[in-house]
Amino acid sequence: PVWRRPSQRVCGLEIIPLAELQRPRIDVTARISGLFRDAVPNAIRWVDQAVRMVRDLDESDEENYVRKHVLSDTAWLKEQGETQESAWERASVRIFGDPPGVYGAGVADLLESKAWETLDDLAAVYTRFSGTAYGGDGMARAYDPEVFQRRMAGLDVTVKNEDTRETHMFSSDDYNAYHGGMIATVRALTGKAPRSYTGDSSDRQRIVLRSVAEEAARLFRGEAMNPKFIEGMKKHGYKGASDLANYLAHSYQWDATSAVMKDWMYEGYARKYVLDAGMQEWMQEVNPWALHRMAETLLEAQQRGLWNASQETLDELRSLYLSIEGDLEERAEG
């Protein structure tokens, strides 16, 4: 990017020579959100322009992966009867997102509804919500699932950056819907997981990159199991219990898309959030629905083969789940 000083706004783009870059030009596909689409179309323009500038360079396949893939995808599309011009344009798209007027990635709602069986189901929904191609004018071109899935199948690495410590991957199901959905789609299409990372640029003088699994374990140890965090949440009564249930639900959802949870982590949630006598008593008082949801989430993780739980823990969870369900039915009946 060429920066206009002192405003620090981007006013143009320039090509970095390969001698200075000292590596091949990497091919990147961007999945933008509906909010990004609506709020910063100028950024879409710059990314699209950058792709086209690099695509048109007279460089070898070993030096320029963008050009290499555009050429190969153009040939693939022409084999299907596409014209040269149309194939060239479709093969050059690197920005995908929601259809116009639509927000989200669909994966969170699907996981919450339990109406899925395999990664293929998650990939199908992610593709439907993400497969709309966007051009340099910031406007949607067309829903192009074939090209989108070809881009996903070619991914070796996925990354989502966070520039604040106020939220993180367990704070909301959006993080998993967008990034986890992409990981699940790659896994479904290729049969293997991409290398997946989360960036932390909250301190721009000390940018940190961790794998998604490392970040999940860090948050689990440092926050989810932290007594100070739990006690702080308990001060918020009904809402605190609800947020703890969400924390567990988001952890499970990340596991469903990206296989980030270990048995000991599920066991930790079970013992500290659900089966602990003090937590049970507090939740029964302020929000029994949250306790019911947590027990249900843990049982679903076990049923789907994500958690190899001990028989003792399973028996305790099932007994608690049935007990709470009976109490909630009585409440509903007045």
pLDDT band per the 50, 70, 90 thresholds, residue 8: confident
pLDDT over 70 at 21, yes or no: yes
pTM for the structure as a whole: 0.94
Report whether pLDDT(330) > 90: no
Do 180 and 96 share a structural domain? yes
Are both 243 and 134 inside the same structural domain?
Answer: no
- 109-123 pLDDT per residue, tens: 999 999 999 999 999
**pLDDT exceeds 80 at position 71:** yes
pLDDT class for 334, splitting at 50, 70, 90?
A: low
> Is there a single domain that holds both residue 142 and residue 26?
yes
- 220 domain-assigned: no
Rounded to an integer, what distance in angstroms lies between the CA atom of residue 297 and that of residue 112?
A: 10
Identify whether 176 is part of a domain. Answer: yes
Q: Is 6 contained in some domain?
A: no
- β-strands 132-134, 9-12 pairing: unpaired
**Predicted pLDDT at 200:** 92
Are residues 25 and 174 part of one domain? yes
- In a shared domain, residues 181 and 235: no
Per-residue pLDDT, 260: 97
The values of phi and psi at residue 200, to 5°, are -125, 100
Regarding whether 285 and 181 lie in a shared domain, the answer is: no
Is 203 a domain residue? Answer: no
> Is the domain of 229 the same as that of 135?
no
171 with 249, same domain: the answer is: no
- 84 assigned to some structural domain: yes
Within 8 A by CB and 6+ apart from 62, the residues are 24
Residue percentage of the chain with pLDDT more than 70: 100
Same domain, 234 and 308: yes
Domain count, the chain: 2
113-122 burial: b if 16+ Cβ within 10 Å, else e: eeebeebebb
CB contact at 8 A, 104 and 129: yes
Q: Is residue 131 part of a domain?
A: yes
pLDDT digits over 221-275, tens only? Answer: 999 999 999 999 999 999 999 999 999 999 999 999 999 999 999 999 999 999 9
Whether residue 88 sits in one domain with residue 26: yes
Tell me which residue range forms the domain holding 135: 19-156+167-185
Q: What tokens does 143 get? A: 């829903």
Count of other CB atoms within 10 angstroms of residue 18: 15
Buried b or exposed e, range 26-56, using 16+ CB within 10 angstroms: ebbbbbbbbebbeeeeebbbbbbebbeebbe
The Cα–Cα gap between 298 and 242 comes to 15
On whether both 42 and 181 belong to a single domain, the answer is yes
pLDDT band (50, 70, 90) for residue 104: very high
Residue 133 sits in the same domain as residue 260:
no
Closest CA to 151 of 136, 174, 132, 169: 132
Task: Evaluate whether 181 touches 131 at the Cβ level (below 8 Å).
Answer: no
- Tell me whether residue 196 is in a domain: no
